[in-house]
A and B are shown apart, each in its own frame.
Chain A
Amino acid sequence: MIALNGETISIVLFFVGVYGLIARRNIIKSIMSISIMQVAIILYFVSTNVAPGSVPPIGDVNQMLLAADPLPQALMITDIVIGIGVTAAGLTLFIHLYHRFGSTNWQKVMKKRNRHD
């Protein structure tokens, strides 16, 4: 029996995102899949090295209490910012792409692009 915790859920979520990338032709859905993968990674990191009953590593933690590992949580602040930047840039690029090629389908856009060559 695999335990239902943050790590297993995040691995499942990650591959849900990968499935979306492989199986969906829609560009917006591709960008959404990347966001899902990012969320999975964040969930994985924040749930690593957390013992049951530990407290968040913020402020003056009582020495008697067990605090969670602060490093992955600090890393994830950076990754959340990167994730937002990536999604925003991806959507901006998509708007430009849509204006020029008039489609949200990867296949159709690729065909139109190759006609330019």
Chain B
Amino acid sequence: MISLHWLILSPLIIGTTAKLMPIKAAKKIMVLFQTALLAAVTMIFVEVRQNGPLLENIGSWPDTIGITLRADLLATAMVFLSCFLFLAMVIFVHNKNYADHLFFFLFLGLESLIIGIFLSNDVFNIFVLIEAATLIITILIMYKQASVSVYDAMMYFLINVVAMSFFLMGLGMLYKKIGVLDFYALEAALSQVNNPASLILPYSFMITAISLKAALMPLFSWLPKAHGTPSAPSVVSVILSGLYVKTGIYVFLRLQTTFAPLIDTSELFVILGFITAVVGFMLALAQTDIKLLLAYSTVSQIGVIMIGISLNNPAAYWGGLYHLMNHAIFKSTLFLTAGMIISEYKTRKISEIHGVYSHMPAVGVATILSILGIIGAPLFNGSISKFLIATGASGSWIESGLILINLGTIIVFMKYGQLLFGHSDKKEAANSDILEKAVVLTLSMLCFLGGIFGSDLIAILFNISLTINPLSYGEKMLLFVGSILLGLLIYRSLFKKRNPLAFIRSFELGFNEICLSITLFFAFMVVYLKITL
């Protein structure tokens, strides 16, 4: 049994010592190491599932004094997902030239920080890890040093630093009131507080920062530029969009559980999630750049996850978490295939890419499978998680809202899917790397397997048994077919020739406006809590 801190330290150590070896050997060692790490995480996962959460007090301090690492089922499942994705990415970059020592150092450093965020139980420690991750991601965003990406990286960096300053200020106020920094000690201490109004300021400060990290409605403007920047290698986009945004949602979840006895904002976040999802797909439709379209679609899916975890219903909650995992899988596939398509066609414009399916069959198949996953086609993983969220929402307005969101997603991916068909101008066959094809095909097969074995996977990952009622599932699937037809109609009549939403692209928030929206969100949270509490 390896101790938890080695999960966090070992990627950093391997990433640093790899510098001593020639790059070819280093790449092989990376693959071996990631496999070993995945095996270790699996062992820990089995252990946690049988014997309950693992606790490790770093420095052998008594509980709640020092930093604690805590591996419960959710955290371990997230760590498992991270290690799996990083293994896939390390295999994917095996034959790439840009993957040099510095890249691996940063990449594995990011891995250890992400694992740390999932396992850490100390709020200040999470702040430090997120701040360090911001710095590493900034360098990774401008890794290929294109001119435009300096601006993208600068925006990403400063906005996230501002948000984390809000977080730290809130943390200071919380510490002054409560006197502990440990999540579980906080939970215990907060249940003793009898005046929730005294916690409005710290809660608002912290939730503003975490909403920005999770890219909720007014605060997502930094995300598409960072995730879709031309300069970042596609594996970086995958980790940012598939995994790193999820750390925001994870911390959000932890914060909400901690404050739940005193401050209940779940209704507000259902509404915010809905708005985020709708605005996300509208903006995605307006894009012409394939990476930006995928990045905005991430915003939309975050909204869906947010609805799921804020609904206060077990089916919707686990559905939301399963959707989080699913989104990591299909968005990773889509970003990887988009990267392969861009390097083959030398353009990022959707309208200029045709015939991917005939020109690059493996990439085409992977794209189709993951599109089916994201739009929630029957038997694919997206359908299971969206079905669970809809079950949890049944009877309220949000159920019809979810149908609208799915319709939007369908139209977005009809637009995206246009690049598969048609006739490619290229004569000679594409020479994609065999490892790249293997990775994208494996990931896209997981979209299918995640649908077939949906409830079993949920039972394994979260130790919760949810039965999927075949009758209502069938009903949802009829609804899905209806949405497809309606989506086709809307796409054909409105978006085929021109783009009525193109004007949205001209609205872009600059740095000052984003800071203003952070402040307004904070002020709104304070006023909202003053009124409702």
Query: Do A and B come from the same complex?
Result: yes
Chain A positions within 8 Å of B, measured between CB atoms, are: 7, 14, 17-18, 21-25, 27, 30-31, 34, 37-38, 40-41, 44-45, 48-49, 71-72, 75, 78-79, 82, 85-86, 89-90, 93-94, 96-97, 100-101, 106-107, 109-110, 113-114, 116-117
Tell me the minimal C-beta distance from A51 to chain B in angstroms.
13
List the A residue with the shortest CB-CB distance to B176. Answer: A48
The residues of A that contact B289 with a CB separation of less than 8 Å are 117
State in angstroms the CA–CA spacing of A13 and B289 once bound together: 42
Known A-B contacts A31-B158, A117-B289; the reply to A45 vs B172 at CB < 8 A is yes
Residues A89 and B510 in contact, CB atoms below 8 Å apart? no
Residues A90 and B158 in contact, CB atoms below 8 Å apart? yes
Residues B165 and A37 in contact, CB atoms below 8 Å apart? yes
Residues A89 and B150 in contact, CB atoms below 8 Å apart? no
The residues of B that contact A97 with a CB separation of less than 8 Å are 150-151, 154
Binary contact track B144-162/A, C-beta < 8 Å → 1, others 0: 0001101111100110011
Known A-B contacts A14-B169, A18-B515, A117-B289; the reply to A49 vs B176 at CB < 8 A is yes
Main secondary structure of the interface of A (DSSP, over half): helix
The residues of A that contact B151 with a CB separation of less than 8 Å are 97, 101, 109-110, 113
Residues B165 and A107 in contact, CB atoms below 8 Å apart? no
State in angstroms the CA–CA spacing of A96 and B289 once bound together: 25
Known: A22-B515, A82-B131, A106-B511. 11 other contacts (CB 8 A): A18-B519, A22-B519, A25-B512, A31-B158, A34-B158, A37-B165, A38-B165, A45-B175, A72-B172, A78-B124, A93-B150
The residues of A that contact B148 with a CB separation of less than 8 Å are 113, 116-117
Chain B positions within 8 Å of A, measured between CB atoms, are: 124, 128, 131, 135, 138, 147-148, 150-154, 157-158, 161-162, 165, 168-169, 172-173, 175-176, 179, 181, 289, 508, 510-512, 515-516, 519
Tell me the minimal C-beta distance from B60 to chain A in angstroms.
17
Instruction: For A93, give its contact among B157, B162, B173, B176 (CB under 8 Å).
Output: B157
Mind listing 5 A-B residue pairs with CB under 8 Å?
Answer: A21-B512, A34-B161, A44-B173, A71-B175, A90-B161
Known A-B contacts A22-B512, A85-B135, A106-B510; the reply to A96 vs B150 at CB < 8 A is yes
Residues B510 and A107 in contact, CB atoms below 8 Å apart? yes
Instruction: For A41, give its contact among B152, B172, B511, B512 (CB under 8 Å).
Output: B172
List the A residue with the shortest CB-CB distance to B160. Answer: A86
Instruction: For B128, give its contact among A23, A25, A78, A117 (CB under 8 Å).
Output: A78
Tell me the minimal C-beta distance from A104 to chain B in angstroms.
12
State in angstroms the CA–CA spacing of A114 and B148 once bound together: 8
Tell me the minimal C-beta distance from B205 to chain A in angstroms.
10
Residues B162 and A34 in contact, CB atoms below 8 Å apart? yes
Q: Most chain-A CB neighbours within 10 Å: which of B131, B154, B511?
A: B154
